């Protein structure tokens, strides 16, 4: 196999279009006769809708129709059908869409939404997960028993529990009893937003022939199509979802978004296409975010640092809708033991409805959540036991080929090398070496955190690929994974170029220009870091199929057995008689002899992939539900200003066992981008609610994501390559892993630098200062004094 391109630094094939602003996103699409939709949203967190008066709105010139929830009595959802198209009978959060205006132009639509008068009867809202679990708490969903539920999920009707998941290993009581050290803590994470550069937007076109066409900024056109079909009761082959390249997904655009609404609006508007584009504020308030999270944990260790027992209760704030978040809670539950072999585990993971913004998948879902308590508690234990944070981790790491996860799954021998990952990160950051403070009020610290993650997907999450050989020897590669900046299409092109031995320019990956649900072969979803792995395997099989077709033809041409024919380096030749050689292009439409007789026909290779022997998890959380795991570690060195609570990253290290590096440039980009996104969630980001459930910061001024000026430090990326036997060329995915361990690594560095325990995010200056004042007030006082004394050397004028 040629090694000329695999593992090289290859710019993504659509980079040029992106940086010149010429790539066309769904946002850019306008159709002839298109109408514009605008949402009327709820002003209350929880209220009964008494009436909706649309008469004034209908009088606004340009308005075509105004619709309300009563017009669209459909239920939506991927794992639990708890969503409505527009609020029906009651509103469940501030920002809940109640009605939609359709007009010939956006200006008229925006004028009209102000004239829709909704009469509400306020109900008591529930804005906190702990309150939501109380017996007398108001119910967010009274009809929980009527929703359809995907196998493996357990809502509890009559409560606010959308899903309950249990993971049980060993005897937790015994484990805790026999531990020498038991640490008990409560950890919290706020709701955060994906902040994709391209806001959600969708065009629905219910054609006069009753075919529904959708253009939308979606990650997973096949899942969107399936869910639309299920929700609207329309056959799948009468729905076409066009998914152009998307400007950032991060899980926000997985599953079903606004597509059902725009399709129904188009039908209402007499089959004219209707477009909905969210403003940034609507994106913050009316669209889903990442869950809020409370973890109450008890962790038991033996004196020598063995992790004996882990008891955790996860309360996941799912907000008003948990259609995807039930799987987030399940995932946080089954993978709660992370990279460690813990003797006794008991995890109860709940997704809980509240009257807040609904929630959905976000990069690595379940793992940024469950790694936050796990990776902090292990550092706390190390401190109590007088151990080194690296040593205690090393002692407890899963051992490939030997250990079993709490789910009962054996850690595969070829799964990666967690110990090498840990030691590489520790060495790169020089964990043991402590820097002296630059100033007496500025301290330095180093922190490390491990991570492991597998795609969280149903047991039948398949993929497929097609390879076509063209007349000039170029190739068309088609799979179902779209382009959202993650780099999978470019990596697939590299795999095809490598397999045929042709230059990269000869390979076209059609999904770079978008995925159409009726033209591209199926893949389950573009989520879970599964794209390269699943589509990659399907592609290699399609390549093999195409090569077999060529071999059949060539065996006739060369008069050698089929097995003797090799397709490589852009040629077709006989292994035993290598002077018998033809160019690849000569087989594109079958091989034609000089007299015109032809063997074979056009070369179209097909390949599929499906997870092998995956199962649902049973009532103890046991089963085999993963296809591959990727181990990683993040380490940081930080500077903390004791006077202000400000944290500055000095250096970051990102280490992942990727199996095989396909595109090094994309890997580095993912490692850097993931660190920055993780740093944002660690230091700045938080959706803030007031006591009535209003969002206080639905804008990028006060919902602060890192700017390029915040990235003034070195990020070192290191990739280990323990080949995954069934992975494409040995590769595994890392698209989400890159942000999972960032926040715990930074919090562990704060602990090392100051002894201060940060149990919640964000670690913005005020929060760090508050914890310093609560836990180490003497540090702040002496820092202030040191600053004063530093003025001694500075003479006043």
Whichever of 489 and 762 has its CB closer to another protein, that residue is 762
The only residue of 50, 146, 702, 725 in contact with another protein, by rule CB under 8 A: 702
Is position 704 an interface residue for another protein (rule: CB under 8 A)? yes
Binding mask 28-67 for another protein (x = CB under 8 A): -----------x-x--------------------------
The only residue of 684, 689, 735, 748 in contact with another protein, by rule CB under 8 A: 684
Min dist CB 299 to another protein, Å, is 30
* Residue 64, both tokens: 């075509």
- For residue 641, count other CB atoms closer than 10 A to its CB: 17
Whichever of 608 and 644 has its CB closer to another protein, that residue is 644
Task: Give the rounded distance of the alpha carbon of 78 from its chain centre.
Answer: 16
What is the b/e burial string over 763-780, where b = at least 16 CB atoms within 10 angstroms of the residue's CB?
A: bbbebbbebbeeeeeebb
Yes or no: say if 399 and 341 are a contact pair by the CB < 8 Å rule: yes
Q: Restricting to residues 119-148, which ones interact with another protein according to CB under 8 A? A: none
Whichever of 433 and 797 has its CB closer to another protein, that residue is 797
Give the DSSP H/E element, type plus range, for residue 297: strand 292-301
Is position 794 an interface residue for another protein (rule: CB under 8 A)? yes
Whichever of 410 and 696 has its CB closer to another protein, that residue is 696
Binding mask 233-272 for another protein (x = CB under 8 A): ----------------------------------------
Please, which residues have CB within 8 angstroms of residue 504's CB and are 6 or more apart in sequence? 5, 10, 13, 493, 494, 497
Whichever of 39 and 467 has its CB closer to another protein, that residue is 39
Give the DSSP H/E element, type plus range, for residue 715: strand 714-720
Is position 696 an interface residue for another protein (rule: CB under 8 A)? yes
Which among 549, 722, 665 has a CA at the least distance from the CA of 13? 665
Min dist CB 757 to another protein, Å, is 19
The only residue of 107, 148, 576, 598 in contact with another protein, by rule CB under 8 A: 107
- For residue 739, count other CB atoms closer than 10 A to its CB: 29
Sign of CA dihedral 56, 58, 60, 65: positive
Q: How far apart are CA 639 and CA 436, in angstroms?
A: 11
The only residue of 445, 528, 698, 727 in contact with another protein, by rule CB under 8 A: 698
Min dist CB 263 to another protein, Å, is 22
CA distances from 423 to 373, 379, 733, 739, 753 (A): 22, 16, 21, 19, 21
Binding mask 265-284 for another protein (x = CB under 8 A): ------------x-xxxx-x
Which among 340, 342, 367, 364 has a CA at the least distance from the CA of 422? 340
Is position 117 an interface residue for another protein (rule: CB under 8 A)? no
Tell me how many residues contact another protein (CB under 8 A). 47
Which among 253, 251, 252, 234 has a CA at the least distance from the CA of 243? 253
Q: In terms of DSSP bridges, do strands 630-641 and 442-453 run parallel, antiparallel, or are they unpaired?
A: antiparallel
Is position 787 an interface residue for another protein (rule: CB under 8 A)? yes
Q: Restricting to residues 439-478, which ones interact with another protein according to CB under 8 A? A: none
Is position 592 an interface residue for another protein (rule: CB under 8 A)? no
Q: Restricting to residues 646-665, which ones interact with another protein according to CB under 8 A? A: 646
Is position 433 an interface residue for another protein (rule: CB under 8 A)? no
Q: In terms of DSSP bridges, do strands 239-243 and 212-216 run parallel, antiparallel, or are they unpaired?
A: parallel
Binding mask 746-765 for another protein (x = CB under 8 A): ----------------x-xx
Q: Using the rule CB under 8 A, give the single segment among 151-159, 432-440, 494-502, 781-789 that binds another protein.
A: 781-789
Maximum distance among all Cα pairs of the chain, rounded to whole angstroms: 101
Binding site for another protein (CB under 8 A): 39, 41, 106-107, 110-111, 114, 277, 279-282, 284-285, 643-644, 646, 683-686, 688, 696-702, 704, 762, 764-766, 769-770, 784, 787-792, 794-797
């Amino acid at each position: 196999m040629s090694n000329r391109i695999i593992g090289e630094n290859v710019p993504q094939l659509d980079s040029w279009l992106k940086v010149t602003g010429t790539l066309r996103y769904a946002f850019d699409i306008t159709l002839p006769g298109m109408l514009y939709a605008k949402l009327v949203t709820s002003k209350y967190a929880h209220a009964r809708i008494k009436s909706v008066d649309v008469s004034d709105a209908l009088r606004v010139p340009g308005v075509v129709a105004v619709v309300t929830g009563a017009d669209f009595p459909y239920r939506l959802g991927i794992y639990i059908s708890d969503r409505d198209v527009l609020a029906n009978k009651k509103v469940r959060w501030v920002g809940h869409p109640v009605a939609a205006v359709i007009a010939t132009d956006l200006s008229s639509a925006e004028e009209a939404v102000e004239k829709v008068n909704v009469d509400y009867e306020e109900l008591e809202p529930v804005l906190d997960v702990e309150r939501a679990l109380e017996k007398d708490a108001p119910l967010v969903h009274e009809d929980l028993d009527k929703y359809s539920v995907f196998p493996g999920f357990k809502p509890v009707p009559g409560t606010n529990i959308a899903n309950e998941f249990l993971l049980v290993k060993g005897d937790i009581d015994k484990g805790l009893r026999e531990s020498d050290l038991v640490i008990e803590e409560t950890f919290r994470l706020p709701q955060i937003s994906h902040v994709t550069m391209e806001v959600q937007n969708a065009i629905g076109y219910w054609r006069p022939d009753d075919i529904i066409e959708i253009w939308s900024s979606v990650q997973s056109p096949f899942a969107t199509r399936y869910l639309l079909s299920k929700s609207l009761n329309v056959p799948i082959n009468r729905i076409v979802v066009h998914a152009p390249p998307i400007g950032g997904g991060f899980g926000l655009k997985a599953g079903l978004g606004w597509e059902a609404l725009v399709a129904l609006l188009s039908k209402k508007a007499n089959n004219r296409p209707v477009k909905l584009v969210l403003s940034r504020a609507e994106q913050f308030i009316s669209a889903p975010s990442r869950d809020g999270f409370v973890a109450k944990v008890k962790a038991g260790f033996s004196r020598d640092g063995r992790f004996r027992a882990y008891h955790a209760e996860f309360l996941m704030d799912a907000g008003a809708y948990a259609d995807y978040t039930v799987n987030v809670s399940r995932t946080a539950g089954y993978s709660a033991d992370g990279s460690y072999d813990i003797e006794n585990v008991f995890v109860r993971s709940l997704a809980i409805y509240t009257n807040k913004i609904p929630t959905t998948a976000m990069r690595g879902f379940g793992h940024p959540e469950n790694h936050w308590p796990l990776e902090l508690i292990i550092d706390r234990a190390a401190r109590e036991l007088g151990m080194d944070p690296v040593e205690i981790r090393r002692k407890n790491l899963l051992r490939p080929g030997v250990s079993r996860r709490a789910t009962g799954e054996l850690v595969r021998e070829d799964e990666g090398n967690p110990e090498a990952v840990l030691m590489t990160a520790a060495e790169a950051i020089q964990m043991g070496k402590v820097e002296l403070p630059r100033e007496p009020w500025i301290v330095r610290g180093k922190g490390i955190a491990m991570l492991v993650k597998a795609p969280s997907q149903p047991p039948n999450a398949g993929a497929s690929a097609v390879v076509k050989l063209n007349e000039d020897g170029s190739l068309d590669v088609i799979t179902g994974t779209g382009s959202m900046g993650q780099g999978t299409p470019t990596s697939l092109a590299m795999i095809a170029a490598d397999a045929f031995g042709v230059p990269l320019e000869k390979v076209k990956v059609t999904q770079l220009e978008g995925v159409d649900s009726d033209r591209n072969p199926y893949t389950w979803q573009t989520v879970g870091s599964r794209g390269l792995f699943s589509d990659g395997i399907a592609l290699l099989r399609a390549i093999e199929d195409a090569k077999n077709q060529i071999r059949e033809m060539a065996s006739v041409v060369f008069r050698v057995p089929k097995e003797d024919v090799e397709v490589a380096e852009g040629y077709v030749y006989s292994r035993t008689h290598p002077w018998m050689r033809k160019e690849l292009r000569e087989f594109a439409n079958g091989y034609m002899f000089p007299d015109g007789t032809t063997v074979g026909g056009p070369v179209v290779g097909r390949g599929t992939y499906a997870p092998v022997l995956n199962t649902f998890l049973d009532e103890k959380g046991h089963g085999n539900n993963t296809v591959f795991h990727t181990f990683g570690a993040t380490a940081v060195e930080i500077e903390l200003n004791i006077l202000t609570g400000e944290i500055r990253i000095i250096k970051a290290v990102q280490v992942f066992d990727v199996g095989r590096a396909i595109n090094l440039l994309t890997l580095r980009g993912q490692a850097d981008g993931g660190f920055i996104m993780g740093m944002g969630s660690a230091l700045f980001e938080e959706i803030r609610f007031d006591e009535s459930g209003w969002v206080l910061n639905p804008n990028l001024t006060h919902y602060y994501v890192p700017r390029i000026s915040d990235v003034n430090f070195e990020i070192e990326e290191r990739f280990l390559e323990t080949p995954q036997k069934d992975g494409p060329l040995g590769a595994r995915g890392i698209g989400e892993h890159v942000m999972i361990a960032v926040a715990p690594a930074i919090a562990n560095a704060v602990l090392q630098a100051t002894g201060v325990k940060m149990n919640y995010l964000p670690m913005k200056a005020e929060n760090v200062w508050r914890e310093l004042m609560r836990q180490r007030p003497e540090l702040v006082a002496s820092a202030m004094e040191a600053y004063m004394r530093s003025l001694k050397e500075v003479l006043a004028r």
